[in-house]
Amino acid sequence: MSFNTTTTASNASCSLASSQKTSVRGGRANNKLRAQKHAIARQNGRRASSLVVCDGTGKFVVGGNWKCNGTIDSIDKLCASLNSGKITADVEVICAPPMVYIDRVQSKLKAPYQIAAQNCWVSKGGAFTGEVSAEMLKDANIPWVILGHSERRSLCGETNEFVGLKTKYALDTGVKVVACIGESLAQREAGDTLNVCFAQLKAIVDCVTEKDWENIIIAYEPVWAIGTGKVATPDQAQEVHAGVRKWMNENVSADVASKVRIQYGGSVNAGNCDELATKPDIDGFLVGGASLDGEAFVKICNSAAHSK
Ligand code: PGA
């Protein structure tokens, strides 16, 4: 188990302790940082309240969300570029092509690339024009599906509850889920970032079992950073990731909170990935625009080498 209960003072101290916290991803612990963290907690002594400090322990994972982009020609070129790039870091990589090209991409991409769909239906297939069922993904050997992306929430009216139900159905069908959460600019400016993320997570927690979390990746994607070129700063992202992990500890279990992988998404590119990857609670990325450039995407995958 990777949680330690320690004491510290205010919320400000919480984020300080959290940003100083040690990661044991890969089983390595940095005792010096851990000692510093405890010293900070001791200094804050008086107004102390309980703070759980957690270390993410999962393998770095990068997803490429190709969204509704591409032609046969451009997709073939992208696959060739990805196959010729060298993934040298210890990283899991998942590419999500548009549905119509999934079969083609799956037959072209070589290991380590895995495939995800960008959506699936909430229940068994049938009279649901335009949809694809989790059974179909399973049948076509598609191991992953992205659910609850902000574009589907805002453009297709998917509610938190609907995303929770979809997540459960996909998992029960044997398809693993990248579950997206994140706040809008207005919600961030109103100070609601964590509450919005927690409500989105709760709707998923309400539907799934503790064991299901073995097959879920959380993607934190602030809506204001998606496709805008405005990336969250590493500290902004880390703060939310640490908050999400703490919430998972309190609302699911210490074990799940430690193991669940939390990706950051929103204008990640070849230039900003290395620094973001150093943050202890960032366990990977979900990449939109830059995933359409094979060379850039391979560089982003290799930023896993910077994760602590
Ligand atoms: P972006 O998209 O990298 O283009 O900002 C991320 C996403 O929507 O998953």
Q: Whose CA is nearest to atom 7 of ligand 1?
A: 288
| pLDDT reported for residue 185 | 94
Does residue 117 form part of some domain? yes
Share above pLDDT 90 across residues of the chain, in percent, rounded to a whole number: 80
Q: Report in angstroms the alpha-carbon separations of 69 from 98, 192, 216, 277, 292.
A: 7, 32, 25, 26, 8
Q: Whose CA is nearest to atom 6 of ligand 1?
A: 288
How far, in Å, from the CA of 110 to the mean position of ligand 1?
Answer: 23
Indicate the average pLDDT of the chain: 86
Does residue 5 form part of some domain? no
Q: Decide: 216 in ligand 1 pocket, CB within 6 A.
A: no
| pLDDT reported for residue 269 | 97
Does residue 22 form part of some domain? no
| pLDDT reported for residue 308 | 74
Does residue 9 form part of some domain? no
| pLDDT reported for residue 12 | 28
Does residue 257 form part of some domain? yes
| pLDDT reported for residue 10 | 29
Beta-strand relationship, 144-147 and 113-117: parallel
Confidence of residue 34 (pLDDT cuts 50, 70, 90): very low
- 213-242: average pLDDT: 95
How far, in Å, from the CA of 296 to the mean position of ligand 1?
Answer: 14
Q: Decide: 265 in ligand 1 pocket, CB within 6 A.
A: yes
pLDDT tens digit sequence for 143-187: 999 999 999 999 999 999 999 999 999 999 999 999 999 999 999
- Name the domain count of the chain: 1
- 242-256: average pLDDT: 97
Which atom of ligand 1 approaches the CA of 151 most closely? Answer: 8
Does residue 39 form part of some domain? no
Q: Decide: 268 in ligand 1 pocket, CB within 6 A.
A: yes
Domain around 178: 68-306
pLDDT tens digit sequence for 51-68: 445 556 789 999 999 999
How far, in Å, from the CA of 149 to the mean position of ligand 1?
Answer: 10
φ, ψ (nearest 5 deg) of residue 292 = -90, -5
How far, in Å, from the CA of 228 to the mean position of ligand 1?
Answer: 9
State the CATH number of the domain containing residue 252: 3.20.20.70
Does residue 41 form part of some domain? no
Quote the CA–CA distance of 137 and 134 in Å, as a whole number: 5
| pLDDT reported for residue 57 | 75
Q: Report in angstroms the alpha-carbon separations of 260 from 22, 29, 100, 221, 237.
A: 16, 18, 30, 16, 16
| pLDDT reported for residue 27 | 33
Q: Decide: 293 in ligand 1 pocket, CB within 6 A.
A: no
Quote the CA–CA distance of 134 and 13 in Å, as a whole number: 44
Does residue 51 form part of some domain? no
